[in-house]
Amino acid sequence: MRLSTRGKYGLYAMHYLAQHEHEGPQSLSRIASVGIPKQYLEQLLGSLRRNGLIHSVRGANGGYQIAKPSEEITVLDILDAMEGPLALSDCIADDRCCAKATKCRVRHTWERLTVNINRELASVSLKDML
Amino acid sequence: MRLSTRGKYGLYAMHYLAQHEHEGPQSLSRIASVGIPKQYLEQLLGSLRRNGLIHSVRGANGGYQIAKPSEEITVLDILDAMEGPLALSDCIADDRCCAKATKCRVRHTWERLTVNINRELASVSLKDML
DNA sequence: CGATACCATAGTAATCTGGTCGGGTATCAG
DNA sequence: CTGATACCCGACCAGATTACTATGGTATCG
């Protein structure tokens, strides 16, 4: 169970944007300078934007900014945006999968663990990372 | 960030074996009856065995048994065996990756989260799942 | 109007996933 | 001893995902 580079890059990018929270829009090139391939990062920022975590300014002198104060953005928000929600294969995401769902102890266990892990991820904000 | 079927099947299989802890070796076919493709499961049981979570008995009337009492086997043990350890891409697993490692706040954050998530996974034993 | 910089889609090589297949080897029953 | 049972192991394979790259478009500033 490992985090993809999408998640890693997402965290790096958001960390950079939080550092420059009040300095106006930061261009793609600036953000990429922390060590992320530019064109790939462009896609990732698109995901972050569509999930409401950042907003963008087009045109010359444009760039990206975080959409909320850094203490209101959590690691969970970022990872969910970059990799989709934490789930046990398709089973937990889809209620119908396990016919004997209510009797499925494994599933029940995994649901509890998922809640706890998500709480853990939600307990760290961007601001905490600075 | 989702768990693969390897992890799911691993949990199912270990749960089955824990249920039949003192009933002698359980054959591959028996275990597979919970809904896992037989030949695929055979591979997965190999991983569990090489990680010391189960042991096998060859020959007629052979099969698999858990190698330790069910209260000594945790969900973390099983997921680590099936999917490898939780890591942030290759960065956390490999100390040399991040040149400015000590200054890398993102990495530090992720290390703390990893420890907490692992603790969470280690807090549930097979016995708890029964 | 043209340089800057975001937006969107498509392609792509490498890797991973979720299997299947075939041929071993160990053990027990008769 | 022999055959049936059942684990062991490596190879193979189609399809999905990952991590990019490429190209062309659109908005905005000066």
Mean pLDDT of B92-98: 49
**Which amino acid does the sequence have at A3?**
L
Which residues from 6-45 of A have any strand D atom under 7 Å from their CB? 6, 37-40, 42-43
Whole-number pLDDT of residue A98: 53
Under a CB-based contact definition with an 8 Å cutoff, are residues B13 and B73 in contact?
Answer: no
Cα B20 to chain centroid, rounded? 18
Express as a percent the part of chain A with pLDDT over 90: 72
Mean pLDDT of chain A: 88
Whole-number pLDDT of residue A101: 46
**Counting Cβ atoms within 10 Å, is residue A43 exposed (0-12), middle (13-18) or buried (19+)?**
exposed
Whole-number pLDDT of residue A113: 92
- Distance in angstroms (rounded) separating the CA atoms of residues B104 and B106: 5
Banded pLDDT at A67 (limits 50, 70, 90): very high
Enumerate the residues of chain A whose CB falls inside 8 A of the CB of residue B129: 105-106, 109
Pick from B75, B79, B106: which is nearest to A11 by CB? B106
Q: Enter the tokens of residue B115.
A: 């420890």
Banded pLDDT at B61 (limits 50, 70, 90): very high
Bases along strand C below 7 A from a protein CB: 2-10, 16-22, 25-29
Q: How far is the CA of B65 from the C1' of C9 (A)?
A: 52
Strand ranges (DSSP E) for chain A?
2-3, 54-57, 63-66, 87-88
Range from A78-87, A102-111, B26-35 carrying the lowest mean pLDDT:
A102-111
Whole-number pLDDT of residue B88: 67
Range from A40-44, A87-91, B13-17, B122-126 carrying the lowest mean pLDDT:
A87-91
**Statement: residue B99 has pLDDT above 60:** no
How far, CA to CA in Å, does A122 sit from each of A71, A73, B60, B79, B94? 11, 9, 51, 22, 25
Helix (H, G, I), strand (E, B) or coil at B26: strand
Fold assignment, A5-129 = Arc Repressor Mutant, subunit A (1.10.10)
Whole-number pLDDT of residue A1: 76
